[in-house]
Structure 1
Amino acid sequence: MEIRYANSPAETKTFDTDRLRNEFLIEELFVPGQLNMVYSHVDRFITGGVIPTNEPIKLEADKHEMGADFFLERREIGIINVGPKGSVTVDGTVYELDTKECVYIGLGNQDVLFNSADPKNPARFYFNSTPAHKNYPTVKVTLADAETEHLGSINSSNERVIHRFIHLNGVQSCQLVMGMTLLKPGNMWNTMPCHTHNRRSEVYFYFDMPEDGLVFHFMGEPSETRHLVVRNEQAIISPSWSIHSGVGTNNYTFIWAMAGENQVFHDMDKVAPQDLK
């Protein structure tokens, strides 16, 4: 498990490209036959990816870093399959997940196994985990089950569909909020006009991009913006004080996860485009 520490706005504005990437960009989440995780001290997010091939892969705690006997001893988790069919087994109960389907698993569940339906064409499970204080039921969510909202327009190149999986009006959790945004063809901008939400941090995971595609992800204070070049299946850690917006070379999909003070999706501090620098 890789450890990332929190950074203040004052120090972040001094970072060069390499330092920005080392602190905020998660470049390699998916390796066949492995489970990779990054532990961020920004709201204590754990972000991970797993590709089970010939054998199931167990979600296990890093006892040194987490001080826990099993991963969900004091945590909850949201898992989304971004690849071919697979399954997540939770204490003996199997949840089949097709691409873009989600499962929430609450605090206290001990045995979590990732498996692929076809080892030669394996599933790709992306997840976010946050601390929890109460057990909520394990629930599978499909795109049809999610709360859906259509935003933006082709005129501003940000026509998109938001699918909310884990949120106040959907699957219940302690603090984790999680969903997926799909940009329609011909649209490249996400989260513009942008915002911050000082009561919550966020992690973005970009995927459904071609091999030569990329997203310019904008971060930083509104008056001190920076950018990071993000490629397919890479993630960005976004502190509460930072904007989180991006423009791609083509349309793409991204998974967003939030944690912090509250779970109110629209609790945000909007930033007018003319105020960005």
Structure 2
Amino acid sequence: MDIYLPIAEVSVNAPLLVALGALVGFISGLFGIGGGFLMTPVLVFLGIPPAVAVSSMANHVAASSMSSVVAYGRKRAVDFRMGGVLAAGGVVGALVGVELFRWLRLVGQADLVVSVSYLIFLSVIGGLMLTESLGAVLRRRRGEPPPPRRDRRPPWLYGLPLKMRFPSSRLYISAIPPLALGAFVGVLSAIMGVGGGFVLVPAMVYILRMPARVVVGTSLFQIIITTAMTGVLQAGRNQTVDIVLATLLLAGGVLGAQYGARASSRFRAEELRAILALIVLLVGLRMGLGVFVEPDEPFILMSGMG
């Protein structure tokens, strides 16, 4: 059953979009990410303009993340104070990112920047995650002890001003690093249509040194606020949010996220990171190919932009 998307100006199969939303929601709950990094390229492959795909995904990511946070909150695996600080930075980053995205559309470079951003960020982060996780899996299978952890209290992290206590994470650190991370993720959310969990989760573990048990839930909590703000700003400033598209994705995403959060406890952490790294690499490379492969139709007509 095809349905017409008024903002994207294309017809798509409605049940297929609902199923894709459920799949991405499941991945979101399983790995603690927004899932936008996976769904945005899929929407582009289906013929939806990148600007509309990026903007509409923010609503899907926010709803899927909210569904997952409910499940993690029941297990007391969310640091709401840390999530709030990250989200405060995310709101500022979203404001900057939406204005930057508007400027890129006006100069006709938005599609190129989206593709190159996916190629660079997903390839680099996916490669680093895969190397680290495969090393952990191999050490465990060989019976080797894990490498000694570095100083859990790096001087630069604990020497900054504006210190705050985060009881759930058992940390007493400056609010500046979480704010900066949140702002960076907010810009990515506006430019790439992602929640930023693929950046935030490793950063929370290796930079902020948060306990693994609260990382996923806290990341998803931050994603809710940042992507919700991004969606509102994109709709108001760029008029690129397709409500019909977002609704179809939400229908499957909320349900899939619940099952993903429940399934996360069945896997080892290093195995989850290895699977996620492979997905990140494949999506980044596939999206980036569009930059170098000559299209079938080099010249197309684009609708006017306000």
Say whether the fold is shared (TM-score over 0.5): no
Q: Of the two, which has the highest radius of gyration?
A: 2
Higher-strand-fraction structure: 1
Taking structure 2 as the reference length, the TM-score comes to 0.25
Higher-helix-fraction structure: 2
Higher RCO (CA < 8 A, seq sep 6+): 2
